[in-house]
Structures are given as C-alpha cells and as structure tokens.
A and B are shown apart, each in its own frame.
Chain A
Amino acid sequence: MAVARKEVTGLTARAAGLVGCLHCGSVWPKDTSRCGLCGSALTSRRNASLQHVWAWWWAGAIFYIPANLYPMLRTSLFGQESSSTILGGVLELVKHGSWFVAFVVFFASIMIPVGKFIAIAYLATVIRRGGAIDSHSLHKLHEVVEFIGRWSMIDVFVVAVLSALVHLAFVVNIDPGVAAICFALSVVFTMLSALSFDPRIIYDVAEVRE
C-alpha cells in the first residue's frame, strides 16, 4: 500500500481524511455532511455513480437506434415529400459533392455519439473490473467526453432552426421527423451519463490496483 501511495502523484482527499466540495471546491473534514460555504451535500464518493452512468447510457443507446432508423427531416418540395435519415442525409450530401458538410454532419451525428457511447462504456467497464489502467488518460478521456458531448446537439439545432424557418407553404416545407426527438433525447441521456460519472472513482481503482 505504501509503495502504491508513493506511485500516486498526489494524496487523495479521502486518504487524507478530507472531503472536497464538488460545487465550490472547499475542503472539509471527512465526516462533514454539508458544505459550510455553499451548503451542498458532501460525499467522498458517489457510490451509485456507475449505476447512473449505465442507466443513462442505456437510455441514450436505446434512443439512438430509432434516431438513426427513422427520418430526421421531412422535406416537402413542391408537394413532393421526401424524408431522410441521418446516414441517408450524409450519403445524399456526399452524392452532391458537399464533402465538408457531409463530414461535419457525420462527425457530429455519428462519430461523436458513437464515440461517446464507446468512451463511457469503456470508462465504466474499466473502473468496475479494474485491470491495467492509466488513471491520467482516463481522466483525459472523461474530460473530452464531457466537453464534446454537447456538440452532438448541433444536429438537433439544425433541424429545429430549419423546421422553424422553412415553412413556405407549398413550395418548400421542412418538418422534424421522429428521429430528431430520439436523437435529442439520446444526446441528453449520454450527456447525463457522462455527468453521472464520478471521476474520483478512478483514484480508488488506481489505489485498488496498487
């Protein structure tokens, strides 16, 4: 244990008999239940963290399936309706030679959500089963997931803006499809999933390995 502690770059609050407030950053003695500064609840570790992560993760994943199968946009041009799914839209853009837009859409709507699912699942799995981990890169991964998650909403914003603005009666009309809501929910749930993750568990796992 001592050797392990040495290897750890710093002392954890818990090991020091302290607990940090996640809200204002102040440090309190271990058994303090409420922050004296901001009044938020203090907990050394959120024990149910992984449960939450997985629950939100599943909810997000479930909604991500219809988000990809159902049409995102229903476009009616001169009375002729056409609807396209996310991937269909990307292929359509590629077909029209809009490589950049296609990449942006693909990146925001496919790569980021899928990458987020993989990343969160990886974090949760690694933490639960332990094994060789690089706690520093795990922290980095968590930060990236948390930061980039919100950008997935770019698709939903495009759909929302388009459907709000493009209502030119018979000529052209754009309505959000079922997939838009599913996608939005999926993004929200994965963001919640990422937020539920208590990065301090990573320390414990590293300690356990020691």
Chain B
Amino acid sequence: MSPQDSPAGPAEMETTARRSMLNGISYIWLVPLIALIIALGIAWQAISSRGPLIEVRFQSAEGVRAEATELRFRDVRVGVVERIRFATDMAQVIVSIRVDKELGPFLDENAEFWIVKPQITARGVSGLQTVLSGSYIEGSWDDQRGTPQRQFEGLARPPLYLAGEEGLEIVLRAPQGGQLASGAPVFFRGVRVGHISEPGLTASGDAVEAQAFIMAPHDRLITTGTRFWDVSGFSVGLGAGGVSLDVESIATLIEGGVSFSTVSSNAEPVAQGAVFSVYESEDLARESVFAEVEPDDLELTLYFEGSIGGLEVGAPVELEGLRVGSVLNFGAFIDEVDGEPEVRLQVDISVQPRRLELESQASREDALEFLASAVQGGLRARLANQGIFSPALKIELVEIEDAAPAVLDQGHLPFPVLPTVPGELSDMNATAEGLVERVQNLPLDEVMNTAISVMRGIEDFVNSQALRQAPDAFLGLVNDTREVIQSEALQTLAEDLGTAAEEVETLVAELNQEEAINSLLAALARAEGVMASIQNTVDGLPAIVEALVNLTNKANDLPLEEFVLQASGLVETANGILSSEDAARIPGELTDALSEFTAVLEDVRQGGLVENANKTLASASEAADSVATAAQSLPELTARVDSLLAQTDALLSTYGARSEFNAQTLGTLRDLRETARSISALARAIERDPTVLIRGR
C-alpha cells in the first residue's frame, strides 16, 4: 500500500491526471492535509504533555499494577505507573512512573515515594479507599525546585513526616523496643504533638532507637531540659498519697507511646536529630535530672564511720527534704589514725549549686562559699533512711545546732570534704528497742488469761448446741444449780453449822456457869445470829431454784421473748435476794464473829480457867472441824456456782447486747460472782487452817 510510487504510466494517462489536478479539483486534497494536521496535532499534544518518566525502586510492589496504579501527591493524581520490572539483581522492583510534566522540576533528591495500603491500627483505619481502588503510590516533595532526579528509592513505609512539614525530628533511645512502637504517639500533657517511626537497634545493639517527629509549633517545647518517658500500658503506684492508677489513653494501652515534659530549668533549644532517652516512668524521668552530672555541679567528699550498707550510687542527697544532688560513688580505704589502721568509708556526692539556696546563676565558687559558711553554722551530712521501711539510704544535709565545730576542708583533693555526723539510723533502732520493751512490759499474761476466759465463754456458748437449744441448756444449768443447792454438802453445811452452833451454845452454857465469860456468851450469841442468817440465806436458795425450775419449764413451752421477759423478772428476784444485806454481809459477819470469838477465847485464856477452857476448846475444836468439813465442800460449790454463772453470762450475753435485760442480768451475775468469790476466798482461808477460826490467827 504505497500508492505514491506511481511509476511513469502511458503519456496519455499522465497528461489526463495532470490536467485533472490543474483543473482545480485538487481542493479535495485539503481533506487529507487537514487530517494530517489534526493527527500530528494530537500526537504532538500527547508527546509534549508527557511528563518525565521516573523510576522508583521498591522492595516489593504490593498492589502496584502497570497502567493502572496512580502516583498521588496530597491525594491528587499526578502520574501513573507505566511499567514494572525487576532490577538486574532481582532484589528490587523498579516501578516506572509517568509523572505530570509540571511536577518534574520538583522531583529532586528530597522526593520520597511509598506505597499506600489499607492499614488498621490501634489509632484508626488509614488508606481505606485503597481497599476498593487498590494501592497507590504516594509521593512527597517540598516546594523547592532542585536538580531533577529520575531515580528514587521507595520507602517501605510512610515517612515520619511529609516533606515541607514543619517540626522537629529527634531520636528517642530506650533500653527496650517495647516502649517505642512504630507510629506511636508522642504526648505533651496528654495532647498528641508528634509520633514515632519504626524503632531499630543502635549500631552497638545495646539500645533501641527510633526517630520521632514533633509537629510545629510544639517543637519549641523540646529543649535540653526535656525528658521523655514511656506511657504505654498503665502503671499502678502505691505511695503516701494512696494508690494511683495512670493510664494515658486507651490507645497507649495497645500501641504504647511516650510523653515528655521539661523538668530542668536550664533549658536550651535543641537541634534537629537530638538524642533523648526514654525513661520508664515520669518519676524516673524527673529524677534523672539529678543523676546527670552537669559541668557546674559541685562534688564533695564525705567520710563516714560505720556501715553504709543500703547506700547506692545515684541515691539522693537532700537538704531539708529537698533533693539537691546525688551520690556519685563510694568506697572504703584504710586510714592511719593514731598509728592504728582504721577503715573509713568515703562517699562522693555531687550537689547542684542552683538547687541550694542560691541564685540560679550560682557558680561552683559561690556554692563552696555558701557551704563553708553553712558548715560553720552547723551544716553536717549524715546517713538517713529513704523511708520508714526502706533499707535504702540517702544523704541528708542537716543543721546540727550543737555540732562539734568543723570546717569545710576545701584543700582536700579531689573534692572538698564536708563534715559528717553519725546517721539517724540508730534512732530507728532505738525506737524499735523501746517499742519491744514496751511490748514486753505489757501485762500480756493477764490479758491472755482474760482473753482465754473470754474465749472459753465463747467456746461454751458455741458448744451449747446452738442458740435454739438455749432453753435446754438453760434448763440443764438450772438443774445443775438445783443440784448444787440441794447437794448434801450444802445441806450438811447448814446442819454442821447448826451442830457447831449448838455445840458452841453448849460450850457457852458451860462457860456461863463461870461468871467471867459473859462476854464470850454474848459473842457466841452473835455467832449464832450469824449462823442463823447463813441458814436463812441458804434456805432462801431453794425458793430461787423453784422459781428457776418453773421458769425453765415455762420457757420450754413458751416463745423466747416471753422467756426473756420472765427471766428478767427472775433475775430481778434473784437480784433482790442477793442484794439483801444478809447475803452481802455473810463474809463480813463471819469474820466479825470469828474475831469476837477469838477475843472471847483470849479472855478465857487469861481468866485462869484453863482446864475448863481446854475442854471447851476441845469441843470447840471439834466444832471447828465440823465447820472445816463443811467448808471443804465450799470451794467445789463456789467453783460450780462460778462456772454456772459464767455459762449463764455467756448465754445471756447472746440475748442482745446492751439491752436492759442484759445489763441487769449482767449486773446481777457480777454480784453473784463477787459473792461466790468472797465465799470461795473465805472457804480457802478456812481450808488452809481450820484452827484459825479458834486461835484467831
């Protein structure tokens, strides 16, 4: 199809053709001419509008398709991928991108390219549009026209910040990578002001570093006095202020993050790429300021005697509770004191002059001067515990008023020596000793006994087969009481007492024949009265018992409330009986009687009627023996009464504390117990030596 090469045909034909052209019909040739112009125009437009073809090398071209994947700049399409091929070493993918013509001059060495893929992170979802439309390549470059470049290295992930974005790029260093997560936020007072790039190991491998970008205008917050700390997860602190739970944000729980604050006052702006450490907590970050030795810090040497166990490098040095420095190092050395080798402990500390009560611009010399005068005024260093329960030590600078005179040894090398005083540590020991002593002095035995008896009471109650069987228990008690009261011992006591009284009476009758013993007679009469009153008292007991039996019987049938009411009445009755003068005076009267008896016997002895008296005494001795026999059973009796009362007490105490009934009952019981105790004491005395009754000693 090459029609142009029309060879020379017959002459006639040619002339015909030439004539046709000359005839002016050649206007038709305008059509292909115009067509040519249009086609050339289209071609020229297409070629001239074609931008430069750039090549970007990626490790992998995930989701990138030739003729389809777009290059975007600030989400505007500025190019399209033309072809994808492999580098000669097959290690990389070379993506050729046709870029819009007008952007060509901006693609200099600052340009960055990365592939945008859908990402779902703890902070949210990004690149969602690429789920449907597929990945695209995002480019970033600044507004400076540099030397155009055609070869670029693609980034594996989006850059920390877009080219042209203002801010400060710094390096964060942490001991563990867990504290730095790619894309994790950087907070200042809880506000997100930047983010972290992918962390990587340092060259030596002893720490983890990550680039961080602080967005303008927050970048001016970063100074040399800024400290970063980890806010990932949450921290629970237990301190003097109670329990504190710190959570920066829910997102940081998952992906971590760092926060920062300016903790040091002498702050200067930092340059791009400054390196900062990330501390584990805010407290550590703040304290780190003291651990760093700064050029104008003042170093001092302290000498201590005795143990410095618990002191660590970095331990705080405090002046009146305010931290002013830290311990640099310490060691022991042998010193010659009066020709004798002696171990001395040397502690080097550093003090920050501006933390002392000085101007902020204080120099070393100013600080030394201040310290020298302070030492004159009694400033001393001493060891102290960091906390009440902490074995860790700190150095305290304190003013001791009556301190032995000392000076700041400025001539000592390498550091001046600050005089010390023995630490506060012994105080703690002394306090502990005093405490122990006091504890030892406590009437523990008594307390224990009381406690045991209380426990026993409780045990009794608990063992009383539960509360609803209380009436039964009460009944048993009442029966016991009845048994006690009706026991032979008590009965015989009364009888014996009667017999004794009779015999005494007889004795008195015999003595009556002698005129000299009128007074004895009178005394015996009184003794008789006493005995009678005892009898009365003892006689009165069955009545109580009967009432108790009745009551108990009723209680067996009646509901507990009524039982309680009746018990209340009973107790009142019992109270009335027990509070009667007779009962209360038993011991007293007995004693009176006995003393009078003794007096009578004394008279008898002095009256020269010894023979008769001997006989009398023999009978009296017999009587006393009888009394003793009777009395021997008394301890048992009182013990039983006592235990009964204890049980009753325990039982009744369960019917509501502080109720009126309870109070009355308890009062009554207390009276009962006292009476019982008095009887017991008397019985014991009699038991110990029955003849005392007669001899009066």
A47 at interface by CB-CB < 8 Å = yes
CB distance from A5 to the nearest CB of B (A): 19
> Are A129 and B7 in touch, CB under 8 angstroms?
yes
> Are A51 and B25 in touch, CB under 8 angstroms?
yes
CB distance from A179 to the nearest CB of B (A): 10
> Are B35 and A117 in touch, CB under 8 angstroms?
no
B635 at interface by CB-CB < 8 Å = no
Q: Using Cβ atoms and an 8 Å threshold, which residues of chain A touch B25?
A: 47-48, 51-52
Given A70-B42, A129-B7, do A51 and B21 touch, yes or no (CB 8 Å)? yes
A80 at interface by CB-CB < 8 Å = yes
Total interface residues on A, using CB and 8 Å? 36
> Are A54 and B133 in touch, CB under 8 angstroms?
no
A62 at interface by CB-CB < 8 Å = yes
Q: Mark A128-149, 1 if CB is under 8 A from B, else 0.
A: 1110000000000000000000
Expressed in whole angstroms, the Cα–Cα distance for A182 and B41 within the complex equals: 12
Q: Using Cβ atoms and an 8 Å threshold, which residues of chain B touch A129?
A: 6-7, 9
> Are B31 and A55 in touch, CB under 8 angstroms?
yes
> Are A57 and B46 in touch, CB under 8 angstroms?
no
B144 at interface by CB-CB < 8 Å = no
A178 at interface by CB-CB < 8 Å = yes
> Are A55 and B32 in touch, CB under 8 angstroms?
yes
Chain B residue with minimal CB distance to A82? Answer: B68
CB distance from B106 to the nearest CB of A (A): 24
Q: Give the residues from 1 to 48 in chain B that come closer than 8 angstroms, CB to CB, to chain A.
A: 1, 3, 6-7, 9-10, 13, 16-17, 20-21, 23, 25-26, 28-29, 31-32, 34-36, 38-39, 42-43, 46
Q: Using Cβ atoms and an 8 Å threshold, which residues of chain A touch B67?
A: 82-83
> Are B29 and A51 in touch, CB under 8 angstroms?
yes
CB distance from A196 to the nearest CB of B (A): 8
Given A48-B23, A79-B132, A129-B7, do A185 and B35 touch, yes or no (CB 8 Å)? yes
> Are A130 and B31 in touch, CB under 8 angstroms?
no
Q: Give the residues from 95 to 149 in chain B that come closer than 8 angstroms, CB to CB, to chain A.
A: 129, 132-134
Q: Using Cβ atoms and an 8 Å threshold, which residues of chain B touch A62?
A: 32, 35-36, 39
> Are A79 and B32 in touch, CB under 8 angstroms?
no
> Are B134 and A59 in touch, CB under 8 angstroms?
no
The count of A-to-B residue pairs whose CB atoms sit within 8 angstroms is 86
Expressed in whole angstroms, the Cα–Cα distance for A51 and B35 within the complex equals: 16
Of listed A48, A81, A82, A130, residue having the most chain B CB within 10 A: A48
CB distance from B37 to the nearest CB of A (A): 9
Chain A residue with minimal CB distance to B12? Answer: A208
Q: Which label, helix, strand, loop or mixed, suits the secondary structure of the A interface? A: helix
Expressed in whole angstroms, the Cα–Cα distance for A66 and B43 within the complex equals: 8
> Are A125 and B6 in touch, CB under 8 angstroms?
yes
> Are A66 and B42 in touch, CB under 8 angstroms?
yes
Chain B residue with minimal CB distance to A64? Answer: B39
> Are B32 and A47 in touch, CB under 8 angstroms?
no
Of B31, B38, B42, B68, which is within 8 A of A80 by CB? B68
Q: Using Cβ atoms and an 8 Å threshold, which residues of chain A touch B21?
A: 51
> Are A130 and B28 in touch, CB under 8 angstroms?
no
> Are B13 and A128 in touch, CB under 8 angstroms?
yes
Expressed in whole angstroms, the Cα–Cα distance for A12 and B148 within the complex equals: 73
Given A55-B28, A55-B29, A129-B9, do A81 and B68 touch, yes or no (CB 8 Å)? yes
Q: Using Cβ atoms and an 8 Å threshold, which residues of chain A touch B46?
A: 70
> Are B20 and A128 in touch, CB under 8 angstroms?
no
> Are A65 and B132 in touch, CB under 8 angstroms?
no
> Are A63 and B133 in touch, CB under 8 angstroms?
no
A121 at interface by CB-CB < 8 Å = yes
Q: Mark A169-192, 1 if CB is under 8 A from B, else 0.
A: 000000000100010010001000
Q: Using Cβ atoms and an 8 Å threshold, which residues of chain B touch A208?
A: 10
Q: Using Cβ atoms and an 8 Å threshold, which residues of chain A touch B35?
A: 58-60, 62-63, 185, 189
Chain A residue with minimal CB distance to B7? Answer: A129
CB distance from A15 to the nearest CB of B (A): 17
> Are B20 and A65 in touch, CB under 8 angstroms?
no
Q: Using Cβ atoms and an 8 Å threshold, which residues of chain B touch A82?
A: 67-68
> Are A63 and B39 in touch, CB under 8 angstroms?
yes
Expressed in whole angstroms, the Cα–Cα distance for A78 and B6 within the complex equals: 54
Q: Using Cβ atoms and an 8 Å threshold, which residues of chain B touch A197?
A: none
A108 at interface by CB-CB < 8 Å = no
Given A48-B20, A129-B9, do A78 and B31 touch, yes or no (CB 8 Å)? no
Chain A residue with minimal CB distance to B27? Answer: A55
Q: Using Cβ atoms and an 8 Å threshold, which residues of chain A touch B9?
A: 128-130
CB distance from A156 to the nearest CB of B (A): 17
Chain A residue with minimal CB distance to B19? Answer: A47
Expressed in whole angstroms, the Cα–Cα distance for A189 and B7 within the complex equals: 25
Given A48-B23, A70-B46, do A65 and B39 touch, yes or no (CB 8 Å)? yes
Q: Using Cβ atoms and an 8 Å threshold, which residues of chain B touch A54?
A: 3
Of listed B10, B16, B20, residue having the most chain A CB within 10 A: B20
CB distance from A86 to the nearest CB of B (A): 16
Chain B residue with minimal CB distance to A62? Answer: B35
A50 at interface by CB-CB < 8 Å = yes
> Are B20 and A51 in touch, CB under 8 angstroms?
yes
Expressed in whole angstroms, the Cα–Cα distance for A86 and B13 within the complex equals: 40
Q: Give the residues from 29 to 59 in chain A that come closer than 8 angstroms, CB to CB, to chain B.
A: 47-48, 50-52, 54-59
Expressed in whole angstroms, the Cα–Cα distance for A188 and B132 within the complex equals: 41
Expressed in whole angstroms, the Cα–Cα distance for A121 and B31 within the complex equals: 17
A118 at interface by CB-CB < 8 Å = yes
Chain A residue with minimal CB distance to B16? Answer: A47
Chain A residue with minimal CB distance to B3? Answer: A121
Q: Using Cβ atoms and an 8 Å threshold, which residues of chain B touch A50?
A: 17, 20
Given A51-B20, A55-B29, A59-B31, do A79 and B129 touch, yes or no (CB 8 Å)? yes
Expressed in whole angstroms, the Cα–Cα distance for A189 and B36 within the complex equals: 13
Of B16, B28, B39, B133, which is within 8 A of A52 by CB? B28
Expressed in whole angstroms, the Cα–Cα distance for A82 and B67 within the complex equals: 7
Chain B residue with minimal CB distance to A114? Answer: B1
Q: Using Cβ atoms and an 8 Å threshold, which residues of chain A touch B3?
A: 54, 57, 121, 124-125
CB distance from B27 to the nearest CB of A (A): 9
Query: Given known contacts A62-B39, A83-B67, what 19 new A-B pairs fall within 8 Å (CB)?
Result: A50-B20, A51-B26, A51-B28, A52-B25, A56-B31, A57-B3, A58-B35, A59-B31, A62-B32, A63-B35, A63-B38, A63-B39, A78-B133, A79-B129, A81-B70, A82-B68, A125-B6, A129-B7, A189-B31
Going nearest first, the 8 A-B pairs with the smallest beta carbon separation are A58-B32, A59-B35, A79-B133, A48-B25, A59-B32, A55-B28, A62-B35, A78-B132
20 sample A-B contacts, Cβ–Cβ < 8 Å, listed by A number: A50-B20, A55-B28, A55-B32, A56-B28, A56-B31, A57-B32, A59-B31, A59-B32, A59-B34, A63-B35, A63-B39, A80-B134, A81-B68, A121-B3, A124-B3, A125-B3, A125-B6, A178-B42, A182-B39, A208-B10
Residues of A with Cβ closer than 8 Å to B? Answer: 47-48, 50-52, 54-60, 62-63, 65-66, 70, 78-83, 117-118, 121, 124-125, 128-130, 178, 182, 185, 189, 208
